[in-house]
Amino acid sequence: MEQIQNIEGLQLTPDLFEPLSEAEKNSEFIAAAPRTYLSDAWHRFKENKLALCGLVFLLIMVVMAIVVPMLSPYSYEQMDYGAINLLPCTEHPMGTDKFGRDIFVRVMYGARISLLIGFSSAFICLVIGVVYGGFSGYIGGKVDMVLMRIVDILYAIPNLLIVILIMLVFGSNVGSIMIGICLTSWIGMARLVRAQVMSLKEQEFALAAYVLGASTPRILFKHLIINCMGSIIVNVTLLVPSAIFTEAFLSFVGIGISAPAASWGTLANEARTLIESSNPIQIIWPILAICLTMLSLNFIGDGVSDAFDPKKK
Amino acid sequence: MLRYTLKRLAVGVLTLAALATITFFLMKIIPGSPFGGELAQLSPEVREMLYAQYNLDKSIPEQFFIYIRNAITGDFGESMTRKGTAVATIISRCLPATMKLGFAAFVTAIVVGVLLGVIAAFTKQRWVENLVMFFATIGVSVPSFLYAIMLMIVFGVVLGWLPIIGLKTPLHYIMPAFSLALYPISMITRLVRSSMKEVMKQDYIVLAKSKGTPTGRIILGHALKNCLIPVVTYAGPLLAFLITGSFVIENLFSIPGIGSEFVNSVTNRDYTMIMALTILFGSFIIVVNILTDMLVAFIDPRVKLDKKSA
C-alpha cells in the first residue's frame, strides 16, 4: 500500500530501463532438455555404479555368447581324445573336459542357451501377464472372478511338476523348458498388473479417456498399462534370473538340456563328478559364469527398481 | 472371519479338484508307461493282468472316475513301480525327513533373515550395511545346488567337520538346511531392510523418538510388527516350498525325502505316486496361502479379509 501511495515521489531515471545483460537474461534458462519418464529413470539408473557394471558385464556376456561359438575353431560337441582334461592353456583358455571338448566354447554356448531361456521366457511372461492381468483388472466383475480363479488353480500346481510334465511330453529341448517356465511364471506378473490397473482405472484420467470415447484396448494399453510400467519393468528384471535359475536347476538334475548340448546347469552337473578327480578346476567356469551373470542381473534389478521408485531406497 | 475361512476352504477344495483333473489328463499324455522295459519281456496274459490290476485297460475318463472315487475315501492306490506298496506308506515314510529338514531351514531363514535385515537397517556403520547387503545380493545370485556343493567341499571334504550323507543326527541337518535356507535368508534380509527403512520414516516412529523411547523399544514395539507384512507374505509360500522338499538338495545329500520321490515318480511314470504327491503339494500350498492371508489380517487390522474377493 505504502508503495502505491509513494508512487508520485518515485525518481524514474533512464538507467532503470536499460536492457539486461545476456548473462542475466539466461539465469533461469533450463539447460537440460525436458525428460520423459523413461529417460528420467535411465538418468537415475546411471548414478548407480554397481547396476551400470552389471549392465556392462551382461552386454559383454551376450556379445561373447553370440560371437565366441561362431569364431572359435572348436565346436561345443567336437571331441578330441588327444587333449583330455587339459588345464587352461593358450589354445584352450579354460581347459578341456574329459572328452577333450573346449570348455570356453562350451561355457559360451551354455550362455547362449541360459540367456536365451532367461530373456525370452521373461518376454513371453511379460506379454501374457500384462494382457491377462490388464483385462482382468479393467473389466472386473464376473470376468475378473473367473480369470483369477484360473490363476489360483495354476498357482497351486507345483511348478516343477508342470515343467517336468511339459518336458516329458515335448522332449528335453530349449523350447519345452521355456514353455514350462512360462506356464508358471506369468502368474505373478498378471496379479501385479491386475492390482495396479484396478487402482488406476478409478482415477480421473481414465474416466476422462472413457468420456472422450477411447476404446477399451486404448484406455487399457495407452493409459493404464503405461502408468504401471515402472513396476512391470522391475518385475521383468526379477523374471530373467528366476528363469535362468529354473533351467540351471533342471539341467543340473539331469532332466533339462541333454548332452551333447550344454547349458550352465548341465556343465556344472558334468563337472560335479570331477570334484575329487584330476581336474577340479573345470567346475569353476560354469559356476563363475552363472554366479557373475546372476549377480549382474540382480544389480541391474536393484538399480532399475531404485530408478523407477526413487522414494524407496 | 469364520465365513471368510469357510469360503476360502470351499474355493480351495474346488482348486484341488481342478488340479487333480488337469494333472491326471496331462500325465496320461506323457509317452511311456510305468512298466517300461520289463513290459517287453512279459507274456500278453501277464501284461493284461497287470493292466487290469491298475485299471489301465479301461478308458482314460473311466480311470479318472475310479481314481477320484477311491481318493475321496482316502485310498490313493498302490505304487506302480514298487508293486504291493501303498502310496500312502511310501509318503508317510519319506515325508517326516523332508518336513523336519524344511522346517529347520524355514526357522533358520526367518530368524537369520529378520536379524540381518534389522541390523542392515539400523547400523550406524555404513560398511556393516554394505557388507550385509553385499552378501544378501550374492545369496540371491547363486543357485542352491552350488552352495550345497561348496559347503560339502569345504566343511565335509576339506575340513571334515560335518557329515555329508543322510539325516541321522542333528549334525547331519546343518549343511542341507543351510543350503536350503541361504536363498530365503538373503530375500528376507532385503525385504526387512527396505520395509524397515520405509517404516522408520512414519510419523508414529518420529513421535516415539521425540518422546524419548529407547531405540530397542522402537524397533521391537513399533517398527518390527509393521515391517513384517511383506515378510509374512513371502514366508507363506516359502514354507510350502520348503516342506515339500527340494529335489536337488535331497539328491546331493542322499536324503530319502519326498522331493526326490516326486521327481523319480514323474520320470518313472508312476501314475498313482504322481497324483498323490500333486494333491499333497497342492493342498499344502492352498492351506498355507489361506493361513498367510489370515496372519496378515491378524498383524495388520487395516486389512479387511471379507472385503477382498476370496
On the question of pLDDT at B292 being above 90, the answer is no
Record: contact B263-A160, CB cut-off 8 A: yes
Those residues whose C-beta lies under 8 Å from the C-beta of residue B275, and which sit 6 or more positions away, are B20, B23, B24, B27, B67, B71, B76
Residue A274: predicted pLDDT: 64
Average pLDDT, chain A: 79
A61 belongs to a structural domain = yes
A273 belongs to a structural domain = yes
Among B residues 65-104, those touching chain A with beta carbons less than 8 Å apart:
none
Please say whether the dihedral angle defined by the alpha carbons of residues B197, B203, B208 and B209, taken in this order, is positive or negative. positive
- Enclosing H/E stretch for A54: helix A49-71
Record: contact A161-B138, CB cut-off 8 A: no
Indicate which CATH number applies to the domain containing A172: 1.10.3720.10
List the domain range (segments joined by +) for residue A111.
46-65+94-307
- Cα-based distances in Å from A301 to A49, A242, B167: 13, 12, 37
Which residues of chain A make contact with B278, given a CB cutoff of 8 A? 157-158, 161
A11 belongs to a structural domain = no
Could you say which architecture CATH assigns to the domain B87-309?
Orthogonal Bundle (1.10)
* pLDDT band, residue B308 (cuts 50/70/90): very low
pLDDT tens digits, one per residue of A120-170: 999 999 999 999 998 888 888 888 888 887 887 777 676 777 777 777 777
The total number of structural domains that make up chain A: 1
Residue A127: predicted pLDDT: 92
Residue A217: predicted pLDDT: 84
- Cα-based distances in Å from A202 to A133, A216, A217, A225, B76: 16, 14, 16, 14, 49
Record: contact B309-A145, CB cut-off 8 A: yes
Cα B101 off chain centre by: 11
On the question of pLDDT at A231 being above 70, the answer is yes
Residue B309: predicted pLDDT: 41
Pull the grid cell for residue A44.
537415475
* pLDDT band, residue B59 (cuts 50/70/90): confident
Residue A81: predicted pLDDT: 67
Residue A56: predicted pLDDT: 92
A241 belongs to a structural domain = yes
A141 belongs to a structural domain = yes
Average pLDDT, chain B: 80
Q: Which residues of A touch B (CB under 8 A)?
A: 144-145, 148-149, 152-153, 155-158, 160-161, 164-165, 168-169, 241, 245, 248-249, 252-253, 255, 265, 268, 272, 275-276, 283, 287, 290-291, 294-295, 297-299, 302, 312-313
Residue B310: predicted pLDDT: 36
A29 belongs to a structural domain = no
pLDDT average, residue stretch A213-221: 84
On the question of pLDDT at A25 being above 90, the answer is no
pLDDT average, residue stretch B122-151: 83
- pTM greater than 0.80: no
Record: contact B143-A245, CB cut-off 8 A: yes
Residue B303: predicted pLDDT: 65
Q: Minimal Cα–Cα distance from B104 to chain A, Å? A: 21
DSSP type of residue A223:
I
